[in-house]
């Protein structure tokens, strides 16, 4: 799905895949194809899973003692959290992005929004792939890159990138864009908390598309200005943190 409006700045969300588990694998080549989980501070619950661990059906947040039989049966490698390591690798990833692009907003330890303008926006797919390959080459970390006209749609695009080649460029003009938003649960939309999600579900809004098409007056009244801004972003109108961008 390629963008057709090259004059408008775009946002690329760069997200490290299975970050904590990937950090642990980085210095253990023997674990490349092995399932890995990372535990919380007190080793109580599973807070990160590699792709292989996810495929085994190991639940996120599961207490370790409950998952132990499954972990042992499948020879899952179990790590205690190492936040010093994760912080160091995060800093390397962000430094790499900052060398490649002039405007980088770190959103979390494993995510950053990258603003693409001018020629970079015109070649969004190529730039996204370049970011992905360079981060992999310089840091060893695999990232997914979703590109869209707004941060909220970039989040949606990133979900799709993880399920495809690792890069996804949003194009609202294509029929599949509406289908994607109709299938995207409203509770998973960036910026929609559980209280807002509950209000939306009460009036039958279950998808990102439903939020996108909701009445502006209702949105401002019941979801406040933040909910309205999220709906606008789903329509392709950038308005979240734009005063900073």
What DSSP designation does 193 have? -
Strand 46-49's sheet: what is its strand order?
46-49, 36-39, 77-80
CA nearest 224: which of 243, 199, 187, 245? 199
Active-site entry in 105, 111, 117, 244: 111
- Angle among Cα 82, 88, 91 to the nearest 5 degrees reads 140
Residue 95 neighbours by CB under 8 Å, 6+ apart: none
The whole-angstrom separation of Cα 212 and Cα 223 is 13
What DSSP designation does 243 have? T
Task: Report helix, strand and coil shares of the chain as percent, to nearest 5.
Answer: 50, 20, 35
Buried-exposed string 179-217: b where 16+ CB fall within 10 A, e elsewhere: ebbeebebbebbbbeeebbeebeeeebbbbbbbbebeee
Give catalytic status of residue 105 as yes or no: no
CA nearest 164: which of 149, 145, 177? 145
Say if residue 140 is exposed, middle or buried (CB neighbours under 10 Å; 0-12, 13-18, 19+): middle
Catalytic center residues: 111
């Amino acid at each position: 799905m390629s963008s057709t409006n090259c004059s408008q700045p775009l946002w690329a969300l760069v997200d490290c895949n299975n970050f904590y588990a990937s950090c642990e694998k980085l210095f253990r080549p023997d674990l490349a194809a092995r399932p890995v989980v990372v535990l919380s501070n007190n080793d109580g619950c599973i807070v990160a899973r590699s792709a292989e661990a996810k495929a085994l059906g190991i639940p996120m947040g599961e207490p370790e003692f409950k998952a132990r039989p499954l972990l042992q049966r499948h020879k899952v490698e179990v790590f205690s959290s190492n936040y010093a390591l994760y912080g160091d690798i995060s800093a390397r990833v962000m430094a790499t992005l900052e060398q490649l692009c002039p405007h980088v907003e770190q959103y979390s330890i494993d995510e950053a929004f990258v603003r693409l303008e001018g020629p970079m926006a015109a070649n969004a797919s190529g730039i996204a792939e370049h970011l992905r390959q360079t981060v992999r080459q310089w840091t060893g970390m695999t990232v997914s890159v979703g590109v869209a006209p707004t941060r909220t749609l970039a989040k949606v695009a990133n979900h799709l990138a993880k399920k495809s080649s690792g890069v996804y460029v949003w194009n609202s003009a294509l029929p599949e864009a509406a289908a994607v938003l109709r299938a995207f649960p409203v509770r998973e939309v960036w910026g929609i908390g559980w209280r807002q999600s509950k209000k939306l579900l009460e009036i039958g809004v279950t998808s990102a598309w439903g939020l996108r098409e909701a009445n502006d007056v209702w949105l401002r009244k019941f979801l406040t200005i933040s909910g309205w801004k999220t709906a606008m972003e789903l329509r392709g109108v950038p308005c979240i943190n734009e005063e900073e961008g």
